[in-house]
Amino acid sequence: MNVEFSEVYGPLINGVFEINNNGTFTAQDPATGKCLATIHYCNEQDVDRAVSAAHGAFAGWKALGQQERARLINALADAVEADSERLARIDALDVGRCISEVRKDYQTAVRHYRYFASVILAHEDHGREIAGGYALGKREPLGVCGQIIPWNAPAIMAAFKLAPALAAGNTVVLKPDENASLSTLELGRHIARIFPAGVVNIVTGLGEVVGAALSAHPQVRKLSFTGSTEVGRIVAGVAAERLVPATLELGGKSANIVFADVEDLDAVVDNATFAAIHNNGQSCLAGTRLFVHGDIFEAFKDKLIESFRRVRVGSPLDEESRVSCLVSAHQGRKVLEYIDIGIAEGATLLVGGARAEVAGCEAGYFIQPTVLLAGNHMRICQEEIFGPVLSLIQWDDYEEMIAQANDTEYGLAAGIYTANLKNAMATANRLEAGSVWINRYSNISDGTAFGGYKNSGIGREFCRETLNAYTQVKTITVQAEVPAPWFAPR
């Protein structure tokens, strides 16, 4: 199947795709090295025009009301669903992820648009009687939202940002990552056809130019960022300086815990394998620290090694591939360096650990699914690797295991496998993580809050509470009559 998309892209500003004179960068297939398209850089002036367009569109978009906004968001969901196969193939080429996996991203994205189109209709104001009258708490949109998304899951990331912001009545300037802009710009074609001009604008280019200008713009009244903790701190600093709210979904180094009482070892091994290496391991929520109880450790380890060996490494468009190439040569070299660091620190390489070769994709960095027997103090257990690399840790003492699971700067997610409900709930309550999944890793369903503790971020996405982050409360009080004068006339 041929994948159709444009050879040249510019930003979407006020309903029009523009071509500028700022120079271009290449959207490159990381597997083959082939140039997919050229994309025009934006500069500070482009960002200013995009924000001005969003600012100009805000009053009209807000005035449409919840039902009409929900209708248009549902129309976008329908358009994305109808175009999902083409968009998924674009992402597979642009990011290097397995096509079978990216298709599921689009299913999630469509559900996300539809969820917020529905839940906004129940996002009601609140009120109560007061002496002689009534007090109303009215939720209103914030205005122009500056949103910055990463490269690892463009479909989901765009939906996570756009759906709640638009449903609540805000307008948006969205910046995709320069490593994965194509599908978001193609999404922009649907947006330009469905939404009024200026409601959603897409600006392309470098984070230090476009992201910085967007974050600092005086007309942007809300910032939302998904990406590294390091850049998140910068965005948070700008938001604090400007006194605007910020939602941050940042890094993770998630613990995945296996108790000795698990009943189906093969099923747990399979799910733990998925937890570590789905999305080629390039996921902030990946279960990259696997704690296995000593009573079953040897049997589990042997099965885990075989599971990792069975994972098919192949081309992004190969339907049978379960791990494909990393997003760039830079990322590939970084992952290999981390494997070397782990071995140098005393970790034992159990399987993988090297670059794999895939016929026809010689330019790509395909990393063998890798397991390292490690200690929680090692860098490979404390720092995000963003590749198909799992640290395996044996535990025997429950209290020590809990301490180690929480001994990280991150707190995005965690997993637990046990047949004992008491073990499950007691452990879930003690883990410092925003999401804890019991007996199925990454069990995210519509309306469940997603976000992190500690340095994994601020705020929650994918849930009704997200609408509160994109609105502010105005209090209106009504009295039945004007009170008597507070001073007696002379």
- The pLDDT tens digits of the residues spanning 260-311 come to 999 999 999 999 999 999 999 999 999 999 999 999 999 999 999 999 999 9
**pLDDT above 70 coverage of the chain, percent:** 99
Domains of the chain, with CATH numbers? 8-250+456-475 (3.40.605.10), 255-438 (3.40.309.10)
Q: Report, as residue numbers or ranges, the catalytic residues.
A: 249, 284
- Is the model's pLDDT at 138 over the cut of 90? yes
pLDDT band at 388 (very low <50, low <70, confident <90, very high): very high
Q: Give the per-residue pLDDT at 21.
A: 85
Each residue of 415-465: pLDDT tens digit? 999 999 999 999 999 999 999 999 999 999 889 999 999 999 999 999 999
- Is the model's pLDDT at 1 over the cut of 80? no
Amino acid in position 186: E
Q: Give the per-residue pLDDT at 445.
A: 87
Please, what is the average pLDDT of the chain? 97
pLDDT band at 125 (very low <50, low <70, confident <90, very high): confident
- Is the model's pLDDT at 490 over the cut of 80? no
- Is the model's pLDDT at 391 over the cut of 80? yes
Alpha carbon distance, N-terminus to C-terminus of the chain: 90
Each residue of 153-179: pLDDT tens digit? 999 999 999 999 999 999 999 999 999
Q: Give the per-residue pLDDT at 387.
A: 98
Each residue of 210-249: pLDDT tens digit? 999 999 999 999 999 999 999 999 999 999 999 999 999 9
**pLDDT above 90 coverage of the chain, percent:** 96
- Regarding predicted confidence, which is higher, 485 or 342? 342
Q: Give the per-residue pLDDT at 487.
A: 81
pLDDT band at 329 (very low <50, low <70, confident <90, very high): very high
pTM here? 0.96
